[in-house]
Amino acid sequence: MKRLILLVLLASIVGTPRVWGSGAYRYQFPSEKVSVKEWNTVIGVIQGHTVKEGETFLDIARDYGLGFNELEILYPDVDPWIPRVGTRLLIPTQWVLPPTSHYGIVINVPEMRLYLFYPKSQLVRTYPIGIGDVDFETPLGVYRVISRQIDPSWTVPKSLRQKYGTAFMPPGPDNPLGKHWLGLSRRGYGIHGTDFPWSVGRLVTHGCIRLYPEHMEQLFQQVAVNTPVEIIYEPVKVGFKGGEIYMEVHPDPYRKIKDLKSHAFRVVERMGLSGSVSPDKVISAVEHRDGVPVKVGVLMKPLGRPSHALSRSGPGDHGSPLPPGSHSQVVTLSAPPRP
């Protein structure tokens, strides 16, 4: 609680201007070519919001480009449907960049968030997402975009026909795929909009990734066929800003990690940062696991060789995000998707 109060006070000071979660942010991966104070893998700013009459967490989250989960885990004791009017909330529009090897689309399942990298301009956009329920986990791996479709129809998989009462759903407002579809090379899976926006930031799908309609429209315009898509599972992210080390910890929704505290220290060790962080601050970050980046250490001296989870390899050559305003071909679906 003390930590949350301090964060809210900080938001009231530095969080007045809005920085939307779907905006483009500049980053700088660790490199021997730049000083450690120029390393910047923490994007966005913490903001503040005063609850207004009639607002719910769903409304506030969408207004700031967040998923429902991002407010829910930060305020577990606040009623998300009737938060008290006048309450000052921290808006967690700041994120540590996730690990990436291909610099295209990166989806980090535990935080329920998608990142779209523009490596040539060193910019990144980020969007909240809905993911597969515990019985229909979103599949991890490295894939690529193989199709793009506007107003997709949906051939309902046999396993879902009883639920939806039909074998085929035409385009329209009741189609759970929404208005835009990006098909993945993993058969039957894709990234799409939704007819139920309040499902973003929840474990609700049958494995696909869904976005708010307004975010999916923007993403669709930026992504070409063959763009790499990395779907990872990393509840502990470590980043750099101004020579300081930050850690962002999320819950483990699929219960894949036996001991989150030990995992956090392994991440730190793998990045060569064991001597630069405070163990107590790492433990505190894990215990809170509220998705807010917190300072856990300082880079006292340059690393011998930049060791971090963000530079395992350079940008891939299997496609890249389109520059703003660009378009690529639209092709048909190759398999019945799972919404």
Asked if residue 92 lies in contact with residue 70, where contact means CB atoms within 8 angstroms, the answer is yes
pTM as predicted:
0.85
Q: What is the model's pLDDT at position 138?
A: 97
Tens of pLDDT, residues 53-106 = 999 999 999 999 999 999 999 999 999 999 999 999 999 999 999 988 888 999
Catalytic residue flag (residue 250): no
pLDDT digits (tens, 9 = 90+) for 143-177: 999 999 999 887 777 777 777 777 777 888 878 88
Residue of 102, 180, 206, 208 with catalytic role: 208
Q: Is the pLDDT at 335 greater than 70, yes or no? A: no
Render the burial of 305-319: b for 16+ CB within 10 Å, e for the rest: ebebbbbeeeebeeb
DSSP assignment string, 73-141: TT-TTS-SSSPPTT-EEEE--EEEPPP-SSSSEEEETTTTEEEEEETTTTEEEEEE-BEE-TTSPPPPE
**Span of 111-120, 178-187, 220-229, 306-315 with lowest mean pLDDT:** 306-315
Residue 197 near residue 56, CB atoms below 8 Å: no
Q: What is the pLDDT of residue 68?
A: 96
Query: Can you read off the two tokens belonging to residue 168?
Result: 């085929």
Q: At 31, is the secondary structure helix, strand, or coil?
A: coil
Record the tokens describing residue 91, joined without a space. 């808006």
Residue 311 pLDDT grade (very low, low, confident, very high; cuts 50, 70, 90): very low
Please report the pLDDT score of residue 6 as a whole number: 52
Which of these, 308, 150, 135, lies nearest to 221 by C-alpha position? 150
Is 180 one of the annotated active-site residues of the chain?
Answer: no
Query: Which residue out of 102, 192, 206, 215 is catalytically annotated?
Result: 192
Alpha helices in 271-335 (DSSP H): 279-288
Mean pLDDT (the chain) is 85
